Chains A and B, each alone.
Chain A
C-alpha cells in the first residue's frame, strides 16, 4: 500500500458564474491528521463535498485515488461504503429525532426490517461513552445546545467505522472545554489508525493537532507542508497572501454615559416549568462601548440576549431601560424599532432565508426604510446601492448580489447576516458569536468594522466563546456561569485565566 491514503489530482469544479476549485491537487498520508486551511470561499468545503460524494463523479473534473484505487462516487452512500465519512459545516441533524436515532440514521440496527431500538440505544451509548460524552441517547436533538449537537454529529460519523474522517469546521460552535474533548477524540482516533482531514479557521487548534497543513486560496492550492515547519503567522500569510501584523485592530474610541440597562433578567426553560436558565442578571451598557459576554456554551448567554431582543420563545421577566426610560420589547419588531439589532447564533436557522438572494437577505429587516410610496413599493435602486456598498465594505465574496445565499460559503453567509443588521442602522448591536466560522482576514475586517461602529457611538454587545477575541475586542467583560453573572471586568490587565475561572463558577472582578 502506498504512503498516501488519498490523492486528488487537478480537481476543477465550477458553479454557475464561479470557479470554486481550479486545478487543486491534494494528498493525504495514511494515519495523519491533515489540516485544510483557507479564507472563506477558498473552496475547502467544496473540495470535501467532492471527496464525500455530495457532488458525484462527473460533476467535476480531475482524478481521485483512495487507497491507490481510482475513486468514483455516485452518492454519499458510496463514500460511506468506502469508509469516507464527513461532518458538514452546517449541522445536518434531524431535530425532532433522538440522539440515538440520529446517530444510526440510514444504518439502523434491525431484525427483518424492524428497528431494534434497544440495540440502537446500547450501541449509541457505547459510542458516546467511548469518547466520554455525557449525553443521554434518548434525548431529542432539538433539546441539545449547538455544541452538544456538534458532538452528536461526530458520534454519528464515528458510528460508520470510517477510515477517513472529514471534519468541516467542527469546533466553530464548541466551547474551549468541548474543543478539548474533541481534540482528545481525534488523537485517540489517530492512534486507532483513522486518517482525518480537519478544516478550521482556528489556527491554534490546527497547530496543536495537525501533522500536515495544506492551504488553498481562491480555489488554488498554495502549498502543503508539515506542521513542524510552519507557524501560525506563516499559515495566515499563505491564506491571505500578505502579512497580517496583528489580529485585533484595537482603536481608541470615546465611551459615553450609560444609555442602556438590563435589570433582573430571569429567563425560564421552554420545556421544564420554573427552571431558570438565566438568573437575576443585570448589566449596563454605555454609549459607544463594546461589552463582551463570556462564558461556556450552555451558560445562558444566548437565552439572555434573545429575550432582551424579544425573540426568546419561552417566558422571561426583567426590565430594560433605554436612555433612562423603561421600554417594553415584546418581539424583534419592537426591538428593531428601538434601534436594537441582533445577529443570531444559528445563522442557517435564524439568520438567513436561503432561497432569497444576497440582496434580499441584506435588506429584509430594514425594508421600511426603502418604501417610496403609500402602497409600500421598494425603492430598488437605493436598496441596490446600499447592498453593493456593504458587499464591498465587509468584502462578501459572491458572484453577484442576486445569487441565492445558500450558494455562498459558510463564512460569507455569516457576513451577509452581519451586513443585514448593520443596514438597519442600530443604536445597539447584539452579536451572538459574530465571527464563528470566519477566516482570520475577514475577522480582522469585522473587528475593524466593530470599532468604527463604536466610534460612531453605536454600543455593541458581543457574545463570544473565544477568550482571545473577548479580550482583544471588549471594553468591558461580563462572565456568565450557569445563568448567573459571575464577574465583571474593565478590560485592563485581565487575563484569560481570570475569565476562565469565573466561567467555570468562581466569582471575581477587578473593579
Chain B
C-alpha cells in the first residue's frame, strides 16, 4: 500500500515536470523541422558553418528585442516603440561617433543611457499616468522615429570608427572560443553539483544522479558542437555571444529572482499582486526601462553590424519581437512566457528570413510565411490547452 502510494507520487512528479516543458519541446521540434526543410530545399547550403554563423548573427537583433519584449508581455503589457527606439538610439550613437568624432564606446554608452531614459518615459506614462501601454508605445513609435528623422536629417550615417564596428563584426578566435567553452562546461558542472549539495543540506529530495549527469552530458555536447561548428567558419561571433549572455542573465532574472516572480504575478493577476504587497507601478516602470535598454543595445549592435545608421533602421522590428515572444510561448494576456522561448522564437523568425532568401524567393513570401507561422504557433498552443 505504502509502496504503491509512493510510485504513484513519483509518476505525478515526473508528469508535472514534463508538463511544464511540453511547450518548449514542441517549439524546439518546430525549429528543427524548419531547419531540416530548408537544408533539404537548399541542398545542404542552409546548414553550412558559414550560413549557421550568418543565421545566428541575423538572430541577434530580434533576439535581444525579444528578451525585453517577453518581460513586458509577461507583465501583461506591450511595447510597440522598440523598433523606433532601436533606430533612434542606434542613430544617436552613430551621429556622436561619425559627426562628432566621439570614441565608439562612449557613443555606445550614451546611446544605452538614452535607451533607458526613453524606456522610463514609456513606463512613467503607463505606470503613473495610467495611459494604456498600447497607446503610450504607439505614440513612442511615432515620436522616436520622428526624432530620428529630424536629427539625422534623413542622411545615412557612415562609416563608423573601428572600435564601434568591433562589437557587431568581431569574432572570437577559435582558441578563445574553446577556452570559453571549457569555462562554460565547468560552470555548468559546478552549478549542478552545488544545487545538489544545497538541496541535500535542506533535506529535500534529490533528482537521481544519473538524470543530472545526463543533463550535464547533453549540455556539454551542445556547447562543444556550437563552438566547433562556428570555429569551422570564423569563430564565435561576438554579437552572438552577447545575445547568449543576455539570454542567460535575463532567464535567470525571470525564473530565479524576486523581481522575476513578481513580474509573472503582475501579469497573472494585478489585483492579487497588489494585495500581496507588490509595487506594481514601480515594477512596470523598471520593465519599460529595461526594455528601452535592451532596444538600445539592439540598436547599437545593428548599427555596428551594418556599419551605418539609417532613418529606417528597425522599422517593424517591434512586430518581429512580439511575434518571437509569442511563438516562444508567451501569452498576450500576461502571466506566461519565457526568455529562452522568446530567443528560440527569434531564431525561428531569422531562420525563415535566412532560408527563404537563400531560396531566392521574393521577399513578400517571407512576410506571408512568418505571418502564418505566428498564427499556427498560437493555434497549436490554444488546442493543446483545451485538451
Contact = CB atoms under 8 A, between A and B. Distances in A.
B335 interface: yes
A364 B19 CA distance: 22
Given A355-B336, A367-B261, A400-B13, A381 B277 contact: no
A356 interface: yes
A332 B253 CA distance: 25
Interface stretch (B211-219, B268-276, B306-314, B366-374): B268-276
A129 interface: no
Contacts of B269: 349, 352-354
Band of interface residues on B: 35 or more
Given A356-B335, A364-B261, A311 B274 contact: yes
Contact of A371 (B258, B335, B336): B258
B361 interface: no
B268 A376 contact: no
A385 B261 contact: no
A376 B274 contact: no
B256 interface: yes
Contact of B202 (A17, A381, A400): A381
Given A400-B12, A400-B16, A365 B336 contact: no
A397 to B, nearest CB: 13
B198 A381 contact: yes
A335 to B, nearest CB: 7
B199 A356 contact: no
Contacts of A402: 16-17, 20
Contact of A333 (B15, B20, B203, B278): B278
A402 B279 CA distance: 25
A385 B202 contact: yes
Contacts of B276: 332, 364-365, 420
A367 B279 CA distance: 13
Contact of B268 (A332, A335, A336, A353): A353
Cβ-closest 5 pairs across A and B: A365-B276, A353-B268, A17-B12, A333-B277, A376-B258
A119 interface: no
Contacts of A333: 277-279
Nearest to A365: B276
A132 to B, nearest CB: 33
A116 interface: no
B145 interface: no
B15 A378 contact: no
Contact of B258 (A342, A352, A354, A378): A378
A376 B257 contact: yes
B288 interface: no
Contacts of A16: 15-16, 19
Nearest to A400: B16
Contacts of B57: none
Contacts of A18: 12
A342 B275 contact: yes
A350 B273 CA distance: 8
B76 to A, nearest CB: 11
B259 interface: yes
Interface string B55-88: 0000000000000000000000000000000000
A221 B300 CA distance: 67
A188 to B, nearest CB: 37
A349 B269 CA distance: 8
Interface string B246-270: 0000001100111101101100110
Contacts of A292: none
Contacts of A131: none
A61 to B, nearest CB: 16
B277 A336 contact: yes
A354 B272 CA distance: 10
Interface in A1-57: 16-18
Interface string A168-190: 00000000000000000000000
B272 A351 contact: yes
A368 interface: yes
A189 B199 CA distance: 59
B2 interface: no
Contacts of A349: 269, 271-272
B268 A356 contact: yes
A410 interface: no
Interface residues of A, number: 42
Contact of B16 (A352, A376, A385, A403): A403
Interface in B4-47: 11-13, 15-17, 19-20
Given A349-B272, A354-B268, A381-B202, A365 B277 contact: yes
A385 B265 CA distance: 21
Given A355-B268, A356-B265, A332 B257 contact: no
5 contacts: A311-B275, A331-B277, A364-B276, A382-B202, A399-B12
A335 B256 contact: no
B204 A381 contact: yes
B85 to A, nearest CB: 25
Interface string A318-350: 000000000000011101110000101000011
Interface string B204-226: 10000000000000000000000
A395 interface: no
Contact of B273 (A364, A375, A400): A364
Given A365-B277, A402-B16, A420-B276, 5 more contacts: A17-B11, A17-B15, A17-B16, A353-B269, A400-B16
Contacts of B256: 377-378, 380
Contact of B277 (A335, A356, A376, A382): A335
Task: Among A364, A367, A381, A403, find the residue whose CB has the most chain B CB atoms closer than 10 A.
Answer: A364
A350 B275 contact: yes
Nearest to A424: B277
Interface in A298-314: 309, 311
Contacts of A385: 202-204
Interface in A359-399: 360, 364-365, 367-368, 370-371, 375-378, 380-382, 384-385, 399
B27 to A, nearest CB: 19
Contacts of B271: 349-350
B139 to A, nearest CB: 26
A402 B18 CA distance: 11
Nearest to B200: A381
Contacts of B20: 402
A356 B12 contact: no
Contacts of B17: 402
Contacts of B278: 333, 364-365
A351 B271 CA distance: 8
Contact of A381 (B199, B252, B259): B199
A373 B335 CA distance: 25
The CB with the most chain A CB atoms within 10 A, among B20, B199, B256, B258, is that of B258
A378 B261 contact: yes
Given A17-B16, A376-B257, A402-B16, A353 B274 contact: no
B265 A364 contact: yes
Contacts of B264: 353, 355-356, 360
Contact of A355 (B202, B203, B335): B335
Contact of B274 (A331, A337, A381, A400): A331
A344 B278 CA distance: 15
B274 A332 contact: yes
B204 A384 contact: yes
Contact of A353 (B199, B202, B265, B279): B265
Nearest to A333: B277
Contacts of A375: 253, 257
A355 B11 CA distance: 22
Contacts of B268: 353-356
Contacts of B204: 381, 384-385
Contacts of B253: 375
